[in-house]
A and B are shown apart, each in its own frame.
Chain A
Amino acid sequence: MTVLLKLTNVAVYVGDTCLLEPISLALNQGQPLTILGQTGSGKSLLAQAIMGLLPTDLSVSGDIEAFGKVMTIEERQALWGREMVMLPQEPWHSLDPLMKGIDQVKEVYQFVREKDPQEALAMAEEDLRHVGLAFNGHKRADELSGGMAQRLAIAAATAGGAHVILADEPTKGLDISRRDGIVQLLQARSNLGSLLTITHDVSVARQLGGLLLVMKEGRLVEQGEAAQVLDYPKDDYTRELIAAEPRAWQDMAPTMRKNDADDILIADNVRLERGGRTLFDGLSFSIKQGEVVGIVGDSGCGKSSLGDALLNLLPVSSGKLTRFNKTAQPHQWLKLYQDPPSAFSSSVTLGQLLDDVVDLHGIDKARISPLMDRLNLPEGILDRNCLAVSGGELQRFAILRALLLDPVFLFADEPTSRLDPITAKEVTGLLVELASEAGCAVLLVSHDMDLVRKTCHQVVSI
């Protein structure tokens, strides 16, 4: 077996602080290697260190050997595209926003493989056909969906002939159906060389197979054959990661307090349009008090729009939405946003934001402290602003702010898709548990079928 990449005691520092503790690994030809761990565990630094892409204020120690030779940063940079390539985490940001998709593949053939323009274009067309984008080459990145952008990025990255592929969270934010496709494409593209993947998604690691390294806070906790490690984890952290995968969750749907609870909302034969396009039609369901309802469907199918329509933020095109519980104020029909930092102002402290809500609605301040305990929110975060707390803390704070208003209906729009699996599990559990205790109905939108199945009383598919 040829060793393509070999790392010996590679560590990353900023000044004297160690961000990534010394790690040694070898990437063999034909054997994919996956690094599994939470965001912020230093995984991305490792890939950047291998490529020679670390920001200049970070320093690397240890030896990085590529193709049997210890190489300096400059020597590794000379391999870019031709021998070794790194797939970007956010494909939308990694594609030139002003250039047609196909040209971003064509230029690689033209400049890296030195083909003449016509030949390069033909090869790029062929590549796009391979990744299922035959009719989308003329589009720019902003006209592509996340999955399409990632497929385009893969085609562009591998056009230069590189067989060693480093993929940093290649499936972040993608629907499950899209995720499997990306993983297969990566496998196909690297079958002549090898694939090093960094992910927090246990199912991606399982699907890729090969060798698996589990990392926690810049430290290697466990390694071995992927199937072996995932089926028989030795380390607690590995177990925790596996347990955080929605399909491994216990059934979390809270028991309904009474089965004969009143309906708070009935949707009858609803059709929704956005920008002249029908999203869905003939949708009927009802939601009871304190019920947790899951909405699943591919991205762009109108899940979020449905939630907004139920909150009366969007008009329905036809059909009827009936809201009961007339005594509820508009502010008791609430929404929990997908990306917590963009739902808060960063110019004042969280405490100030909370006080504003308390003052506006005359809420009893004594309720705050017990609820914060339940949500595992330390007092200290009230002195900080939304950028100085973690995503999980911020989403739990958002739940706190929503629950103080005694909502009757809470629309949670992918509330955990930007969080780590372990945090996501915790936040989802708290959300359904507390809302249900308060008799508040929850509409949980997610692209993860497993997550919805484990937490909801009723699932609506679009």
Chain B
Amino acid sequence: MKAMLLKRALQLVTVVWGVGTLTFILMRSLPGDMAYRIAASRYGQDNVDSNAAALVREELKLDQGALTAYWHWLTDLLQFKLGDSLVSGLPVMDTVQHMLGHSLMLAFAGLMVSVLIAVPLGLLSAWRGNPFDSILMSLSSVIRAMPVFVLGVLFILLFALHWNWFPVAGFGSPAHLVLPAVTLALSLAAVSNRVVRDSAKRTFAAAFYQFSKVKGLSAWQTFRQHGVRNIAVPVVAFFGIQLVSMIEGIVMIESLFSWPGIGHGLAHAIFARDIPVIQGAALVMGVLFVLLNTLVDVICLWIDPRGAKTV
């Protein structure tokens, strides 16, 4: 466990440096004059001329060499100075924190709802078998095959425009959270209910599961004593993967529902060449990636301590 945590800490440093450097290189190799793009974002497309661009270039020292720029950036990074947004002038830390908070809220809400959908359906599917199993399988495939924005648009049309139950988009009240979270949850649960079902089916068929009943435990006692934990092993790992990959995949939902999250914000920052924000967001996402993975690993190790010595 200790060795694993140490390894993860080292990974964290590498990720921070790697992601930072990569963003740096990519941003510098984007086509177009950076000064013009920043000026356009600041003053509006119509008010940009070469004077404005020159002013921006002067102010942000955009004409310095690549290596010097990299050096400046790296020393800033080592002091945790992420700088200010080039567009809004607000500190990057605050901007990222603001966006990330919203993203995480949506991601966790989506994941929780998906767990509430996937676990009971998966267990029921493993327990009852056909025809329920086949019906659920088809339904899962259909939902999975649909791009998530189609699902979202369907929900908007139905629940927001037709029935008027929830707001179409935006942020502010718990009601705003419902549609994006449910959309996200359904697309996640479409896959994870199958994982729950497969794991449960394997466990129910296992020799130790049968032996527990032969020992005299009732079906419910057997499920509680030997089912839950054994079923959970691959399921928890899978939920972990879903949560982690959601951090990058959430952008579609955020755009669709105008959710002020990090995916949405990052996309806008790239259009505007707002480099400090891009770097900050990419860095925080990289760090989050490692932290969430570590958390998932620790939980998995706690559920299934086999092989702990080899980790």
By a beta-carbon cutoff of 8 Å, the part of chain A in contact with chain B is: 51, 53, 77, 80-82, 85-86, 88, 90, 93-99, 107-108, 111-112, 140, 142, 153, 156-157, 159-160, 162
Q: Does residue B95 face the partner (Cβ distance < 8 Å to A)?
A: no
By a CB distance below 8 angstroms, the chain A residues around B208 are: 93-97
Structural contact, A157 and B215, CB atoms closer than 8 A: yes
When chains A and B are docked, how far (Å) is the Cα of A82 from the Cα of B218? 12
| CB contact under 8 A between A160 and B216, given known A90-B207, A98-B304, A142-B306 | yes
Structural contact, A93 and B206, CB atoms closer than 8 A: yes
Binary contact readout B190-206 vs A (1 if CB under 8 angstroms, 0 otherwise): 00000000000000001
Structural contact, A96 and B215, CB atoms closer than 8 A: no
Q: Does residue B141 face the partner (Cβ distance < 8 Å to A)?
A: no
| CB contact under 8 A between A107 and B206, given known A88-B211, A96-B230, A98-B303 | no
A53-B214, A153-B211, A156-B211 known, 5 other contacts, Cβ within 8 Å: A85-B215, A96-B230, A107-B217, A111-B225, A157-B214
Query: What's the A-B contact tally at a CB cutoff of 8 Å?
Result: 75
By a CB distance below 8 angstroms, the chain B residues around A107 are: 217, 221, 225
Structural contact, B215 and A112, CB atoms closer than 8 A: yes
Closest chain-B Cβ to A437's Cβ sits at a distance in Å of 43
By a CB distance below 8 angstroms, the chain B residues around A142 are: 306
Q: Does residue B229 face the partner (Cβ distance < 8 Å to A)?
A: yes
When chains A and B are docked, how far (Å) is the Cα of A176 from the Cα of B217? 33
CB pairs A–B below 8 angstroms (20 shown) = A51-B214, A80-B215, A80-B216, A81-B214, A81-B217, A85-B214, A86-B214, A88-B207, A88-B211, A93-B206, A94-B207, A94-B208, A96-B226, A99-B225, A99-B226, A99-B229, A111-B218, A157-B211, A157-B214, A157-B215
| CB contact under 8 A between A81 and B229, given known A90-B207, A93-B208 | no
Binary contact readout B289-311 vs A (1 if CB under 8 angstroms, 0 otherwise): 00000000000000111100000
Q: Does residue B210 face the partner (Cβ distance < 8 Å to A)?
A: yes
Q: Please list the 7 inter-chain residue pairs (A to B) with the smallest Cβ-Cβ separation, ordered nearest first.
A: A81-B216, A112-B216, A160-B216, A93-B207, A94-B211, A94-B207, A96-B208
Query: Which of the listed residues B212, B225, B226, B304 has the most CB atoms from chain A within 10 Å of its own CB?
Result: B212
Closest chain-B Cβ to A186's Cβ sits at a distance in Å of 16
Closest chain-A Cβ to B212's Cβ sits at a distance in Å of 7
By a CB distance below 8 angstroms, the chain B residues around A97 are: 208, 230, 306
| CB contact under 8 A between A111 and B221, given known A51-B214, A53-B214, A98-B230 | yes
Give residues 211-236 of B contacting A (CB, 8 Å): 211-218, 221, 225-226, 229-230, 233
With both beta carbons as reference points, the residue of chain A lying nearest to B220 in the complex is identified as: A111
Structural contact, B216 and A82, CB atoms closer than 8 A: yes
When chains A and B are docked, how far (Å) is the Cα of A163 from the Cα of B225? 24
